[in-house]
Amino acid sequence: MNLIDEAEKVAEELRDVVFVGAVAIFAHIGYWSRGTEDIDLAMATILSEEELEKRGYRKYYENNKWVTRTPRGIKVDIYTEDVGRIPISTIYETATEITGKNRKIKVACVEVLLITKHRAGRAQDIEDLQNLCRIRGKKLNWSLLQQIANDTEIAEIRNVVNAFK
Amino acid sequence: MKSLLLAQSLELKPVYRIEEIIPIDTISRATGYRMLKELEQLGLVERIKRGYYSVRTCVKQPADVLEHLIPTLQALKQARTFGKYYNESDARVAKNIINGLITLDYKAYELTHYQSPSKLFIYVDNLDNASTVLKNYGFSEGTKGSVVLLPHIGDFSNEIQRVYLDCIAYGGRSTHDAIAIELLYGDKLKTKGVFPVELISKVKEDMPRVPTIESNR
């Protein structure tokens, strides 16, 4: 499965969404990224379960929890309030548009990804953060980082960027 | 080993300044540098550039597991990286021209279909010969490529076990590959790593699967 192709279909079906997670990382660093075949997205206009179902997004009970899947069976996590304590409104305001094969999709900007990855702090987030800084570190918007992160987080990100500069 | 205890006590971070690794308030600078050197020699700590280091996430594994990771860590220390077009076609070409045992990203994907691969890691009998083959096909050696040659070090008698240990040793996202391998091939593994429960749940949740019970809404 091509993650961006799937994201394009999801954007067509759910309209105004911003992709975070693997789709956004792939959009920023291409084939240097690794990820699972699931989709994380931020949604400002919340769709009810009925509305999601009408569009083919169904819920399944797996591993003791309910999981939503796209019409093509891809797991999708929908964030409606915040992602890593960054409000959905900020994620929308700072999102970047990329052009897929058939349409444009919105993805979270690098700065948002860096902060969410830093806050999650798991082994895979550390690797993603290193790759983002290595590949995109020279063009970071530091004033945006100052708006969405605290001083400690900014100092940490600066450390990673300096290390890979 | 004191240096190992030091590394295991570190909080997981993408990059460490030297003073974050060596606690100069409790040990002398000379002892600190000696410990750092030991960790570098083991392959658990990597110097990114002057004053900046990264620590492999596998350092959090218990000592009896770490012992089995040493051959992989040593191989990773001697790894040589190549690229030609610096896109996914490099891995496709290298797969066809290099004889060796594929591990990490591509092998883990073949075994689990869990996570898309990025770099092609291949164990080869002779690094210089394999390097020459790649260069003859227009590959250049450097730090940014996606084809990584590794020297045969350690035991390869149980391929799944070796790939599993390689994934733990490499750390980062490969830790998830290790968990996925254990979930699918646990009966083939003699040595098993230790992972946080929430990470195992996350991998279980994200593993490709056929949905079971549909919502009866």
Torsion sign over Cα B170, B172, B173, B179: positive
Task: Find the CB nearest A126 among B117, B172, B209.
Answer: B172
Task: Find the CB nearest A34 among B17, B117, B213.
Answer: B117
The pLDDT value recorded for residue A63 is 79
Contacts of A32 in chain B (CB under 8 A): 118, 146
Buried b (16+ CB within 10 A) or exposed e, A81-115: eebbebebebbbebbeebebeeeebbbbbbbbbbb
The pLDDT value recorded for residue B23 is 82
Cβ proximity of B93 and B134 under 8 Å: no
Q: DSSP label at B14?
A: S
Contacts of B200 in chain A (CB under 8 A): none
CA distance B74 to B189: 21
What backbone phi and psi angles, to 5 degrees, belong to B195? Answer: -130, 150
The strand pair at A86-87 and A82-83 is best described as antiparallel
Cβ proximity of A22 and A35 under 8 Å: yes
What residues contact residue A152 under an 8 Å CB cut-off, 6+ apart? none
CA distance A116 to A105: 20
**Structural domains of chain B, with CATH:** 2-55 (1.10.10.10), 60-206 (no CATH)
What does the block give as tokens for B153?
């070090």
The number of residues in chain B equals 217
For B156, counting Cβ atoms within 10 Å of its Cβ (0-12 exposed, 13-18 middle, 19+ buried), the class is: middle
The pLDDT value recorded for residue A101 is 87
Contacts of A57 in chain B (CB under 8 A): none
pLDDT at A2 over 90: no
What would the mean pLDDT of B191-195 be, rounded to a whole number?
Answer: 97
Q: Is B99 helix (H, G, I), strand (E, B) or coil?
A: coil
Widest CA span in chain B: 67
Residue B214 at interface with chain A, using a CB cutoff of 8 Å: yes
Residue B105 at interface with chain A, using a CB cutoff of 8 Å: yes
What does the block give as tokens for A8?
């394009």
Cα A64 to chain centroid distance, Å, stands at 25
The pLDDT value recorded for residue B216 is 44
**Mean pLDDT rounded to a whole number for chain B:** 93
The number of residues in chain A equals 165
The pLDDT value recorded for residue A94 is 98
Contacts of B172 in chain A (CB under 8 A): 123-124, 126-127, 130
Residue of B nearest to A117 (CA): B14
Q: pLDDT tens digits, residue range B111-161?
A: 999 999 999 999 999 999 999 999 999 999 998 899 999 999 999 999 999
Q: pLDDT tens digits, residue range B86-117?
A: 998 999 999 999 999 999 999 999 999 999 99
What does the block give as tokens for B59?
């350092």
Cα A94 to chain centroid distance, Å, stands at 12
For residue B27, CA distances in Å to B19, B30, B54 come to 12, 8, 21
Residue of A nearest to B50 (CA): A163
Neighbouring CB atoms inside 10 A of B164's CB total 30
Contacts of A69 in chain B (CB under 8 A): 211
Query: Which residue numbers of A have CB closer than 8 Å to B's CBs?
Result: 3, 30-38, 49, 53, 58-63, 65-67, 69, 73, 75, 121-124, 126-130, 133, 156, 159-160, 162-164
pLDDT at B217 over 60: no
Q: B24 versus A165: which is more confidently predicted?
A: A165
Cβ proximity of A132 and A29 under 8 Å: yes
Q: B190 versus B206: which is more confidently predicted?
A: B190
Q: What's the domain range around A39?
A: 3-164
Closest approach of A33 to chain B, Cα-based (Å): 6
The pLDDT value recorded for residue B213 is 45
Neighbouring CB atoms inside 10 A of B49's CB total 10
Residue of B nearest to A39 (CA): B206
Task: Find the CB nearest A31 among B17, B118, B201.
Answer: B118
Number of folded domains in chain A? 1
Q: pLDDT tens digits, residue range A61-74?
A: 987 889 999 999 99
What residues contact residue B85 under an 8 Å CB cut-off, 6+ apart? none
Domain of residue A33, CATH code = 3.30.460
What would the mean pLDDT of A2-14 be, rounded to a whole number?
Answer: 94
Residue B47 at interface with chain A, using a CB cutoff of 8 Å: no
The pLDDT value recorded for residue B212 is 44
pLDDT at A115 over 90: yes
